[in-house]
Amino acid sequence: MTRSGRHNRISILTRFPRIGEVKTRLTPPLSAEEAIELHEQLTRQTLRSARALVATRDAIVEVRTDAAFTQAAREWLRTPDVTCRYQGEGDLGARISRAFANAFGRGARAVLVVGSDCPRLSGPLMRDALRRLSAVDLVLGPAEDGGYYLIGLSRACARRAMPALVTGVPWGTGDVLARTVDLAEQAGLTYALLARLPDVDRPEDLPDAEVALGRACVSVDASVSVIIPALDDAGLVASAVASAQAAGAHEVLVVDGGSQDATRDVAAAAGARVIASAAGRAPQMNAGAAEATGDVLLFLHADITLPGTARHARLISTVGRARSLLGGSPWGDQALFVGRDTFTELGGFPEQPTMEDFEFARRLKRFGRVVTLRERTVTSARAWEEHGLLLPTLMNLAVIAGYRLGADPEVLTRWRKRIAPSRTGR
């Protein structure tokens, strides 16, 4: 957990799924059973996006329901890393005010309270809201029906903001947001508005909700974009591109970090789309992801080829595979598949000078299940050929241990440069 993340809270307000008590304005056209199913999908989608901030250690998340027995809510949601609480009695304003009071009472410095009716609410949007609270007192996420899907407060303004912001608000009308902004201005609060998003309250909202709820699903015929970060890899990148094309990639993007050799020309001649980026594997991979159009992103180092195209150093590849199988963390000299939505929810690779793939793999493990495939990639043994087997292995282990113990990635980068292969003959 990052130092700031320990003090950020996200409270999701939702209702326990009871027949005839949820999404009643959608029945008809939905049946009562379909309304419950939709409500559950919306809640789980919201929870999934919020849990992305748990995975990146940006916040702690809780779900507050109208089930007085919180065990029932826990069994419903089946999410052990998220706390379930009873939201209490009263109108929406009272429940929002109580959520803030409880979170600030437990030491939070910034708190978001969100509903479960907005399927386009995402992890990046909630991160943006938390960032904005470092500069303003209040953040609101406007809904298209005139309400709001998110309200966030900083601890510094909590006493004068609550219950002032929820007093006299006409809940359930199209004037909720406007009234809340008026109350904020009367209280002298600075505020910021997020993107306006649709929620799901009326039959005409259902088509967009169906599209939004399907964003995390990956079909068996999903298109795959292969993203290859490269820097002075003219002697290797063509093989990586060819292996991706032979494997059926929808597109291959080589993201160049400022090569001084012919990497860009070689990659283009091999059939890749070449993108220029700032140097650094993390910013390069994030830049490639931003340009990719596939449903699934496959990150491949320039010195790695997908199965069946070249010989490989068997000892090195076996060690890497064993590490992935035992630890459940695909990183380093391996290929990493991730759904586009999952990548977006987690905020991409952390832009740090080293161990970015290790950190991203840890976030994936916290977020969901990681699977290691039987197929093997082919890895260049250039570092071991140049420096021998023992030194690179020991140095890599030292870097991993240092990172786990909280060492500065800048320091670890200087360590790693001691065994980096020379540019000559790469």
pLDDT at 400 over 90: no
- Label residue 391 by pLDDT band (50, 70, 90): low
- Non-local (6+) Cβ contacts of 21 within 8 A are 15
Q: How many Cβ atoms are within 10 Å of 69's Cβ, its own excluded?
A: 12
pLDDT at 412 over 60: yes
Q: How many Cβ atoms are within 10 Å of 203's Cβ, its own excluded?
A: 13
Give all domains of the chain, ordered by start, each with its CATH number.
Answer: 5-213 (3.90.550.10), 224-379 (3.90.550.10)
Distance CA 10, CA 113 (A): 6
Residue % of the chain over a pLDDT of 90 = 69
- Calculate mean pLDDT across residues 96-115: 96
- Whole-number mean pLDDT of the chain? 86
pLDDT at 331 over 60: no
Q: Which residue would you say has higher pLDDT here, 235 or 216?
A: 235
Distances (CA, A) of 215 to 13, 48, 211, 219, 341: 22, 12, 7, 11, 7
Burial of 249 from C-beta contacts in 10 A (0-12 / 13-18 / 19+) = buried
| Long-range contacts of the stretch 77-81 (C-beta < 8 A, 24+) | 77/43, 77/44, 77/47, 79/47, 79/51, 81/51, 81/54, 81/366
Alpha helices in 8-119 (DSSP H): 32-55, 70-77, 92-105
Q: What is the pLDDT of residue 39?
A: 96
pLDDT at 318 over 90: no
Q: What is the pLDDT of residue 329?
A: 53
- Label residue 332 by pLDDT band (50, 70, 90): low
- Calculate mean pLDDT across residues 3-20: 86
Residue % of the chain over a pLDDT of 70 = 84
Q: What is the pLDDT of residue 415?
A: 63
What are 349's two structure tokens? 């690779």
- Closest Cα to residue 1, out of 57, 82, 83? 57
- Calculate mean pLDDT across residues 384-403: 64
- Mean pLDDT check: name the lowest of 45-49, 214-218, 317-321, 401-405: 317-321
Residue pair 228/255 in contact by the 8 Å Cβ criterion: yes
pLDDT at 311 over 80: no
Distance CA 132, CA 52 (A): 18
Q: Which residue would you say has higher pLDDT here, 326 or 143?
A: 143
What are 230's two structure tokens? 């490269």
pLDDT in tens, 234-262: 999 999 999 999 999 999 999 999 999 99
- Mean pLDDT check: name the lowest of 160-164, 206-210, 358-362, 404-408: 404-408
3-state helix, strand, coil in the chain (%, to 5): 45, 15, 40
